[in-house]
A and B are shown apart, each in its own frame.
Chain A
Amino acid sequence: MNSVRQTQITVVKALAAVVAFIGIMGFVFLKEPVPFLMGLIFGSAISALNFFQLANTLNRAVKMHPGKAQTFAVTQYFIRYIITAIVIYVSITAPYINIIGTVIGLLTIKLIIFATNLFNDKTYYKNIFKRKEDEPNGR
C-alpha cells in the first residue's frame, strides 16, 4: 500500500477514536447530548470525506502541468469550502444538530494531524530548545 493511502487511513482511524472519546465525554457531561453527538458525527464525517477528496485532488494535481495544477487545486478547494459552508449552515438552522459539535468535528482533524505527525516526533522538541547560533552554517 502506498504512503498516501496509509496516511489517510491512519488519520481517519485516529479521527474516529478521538471523536468517539469526545462523544462519550459529551454523553456523560452534557444535559442534552443527542444534538451534540449528531453534530459531532456530522462534522467529523464531512471532515473525513473532505480529507479523502483533498488526497484525490492532490494525487491528480501533481500529474498535471504546474499552472493547470494550481488552478485545479484552487477550484477544488473552493468546492470543498462551499460543502463545509453548507454543513455549517445546516447545523445552525436545524434544531436537532448542535453547531458546537459540528465545529469540533470539523476541526478535530487538525489536532489529529499535529498529534500523529508533529508532536510524536522527538526531534521537534529538541529543535525548539536548540541554539541556532551554535551551528556552523548559522541555520
Chain B
Amino acid sequence: MEPITGKALILAASAIGAGLAMIAGIGPGIGQGYAAGKGAEGVGRQPEAQGDIVRTMLLGAAVAETTGIYGLVIALILLFANPLVRML
C-alpha cells in the first residue's frame, strides 16, 4: 500500500472543506423562500402595501444572498485554485 503524500492529504481535506463551505448556500435559500411566503401572505392581507413589502424584501434578500456567495467563493477556490498545495 502506498503511503499518503502531503499533497493528496491536502487535496482530500480541501474537498471536504469545499463540501462544508457549500452548506452556507442552503441557509439564504431557505430564508429567502420563507420571506417570499410571508411576503405573499402580507400582500394577500394588505394589497396596497405591495410596493413597500417587495422593496424591503428585495434589500433583505440581496444582502442575504451575498452570504451564500462567500461560501461559494471559498469552496470553488479550494477546489480549483487551492493556495495550500503551493505551500508544500
Contacts and interface: CB of A to CB of B under 8 A. Distances in A.
A62 interface: yes
Interface string A98-120: 01000100110110011001000
Interface residues of A, number: 45
A50 B65 contact: yes
Contacts of B76: 85, 88-89, 92
A123 interface: no
Contacts of B39: 58, 61-62, 69
B23 interface: no
A64 B40 contact: yes
B72 A58 contact: no
Given A4-B51, A50-B65, A81-B68, A58 B58 contact: yes
B73 A54 contact: no
Contact of B33 (A3, A59, A65, A74): A74
B62 interface: yes
A74 B72 contact: no
A55 B37 CA distance: 15
B15 interface: no
Nearest to B50: A62
Q: What 6 pairs between A and B have smallest CB-CB spacing?
A: A73-B36, A70-B37, A74-B33, A69-B40, A110-B66, A61-B36
Interface of B: 25, 28-30, 32-44, 50-55, 57-59, 61-63, 65-66, 68-70, 72-73, 76-77, 80-81
5 contacts: A54-B58, A73-B36, A77-B33, A84-B72, A92-B80
Interface of A: 2-4, 7-8, 11, 50-51, 54-55, 57-59, 61-67, 69-74, 77-78, 80-81, 84-85, 88-89, 92-93, 99, 103, 106-107, 109-110, 113-114, 117
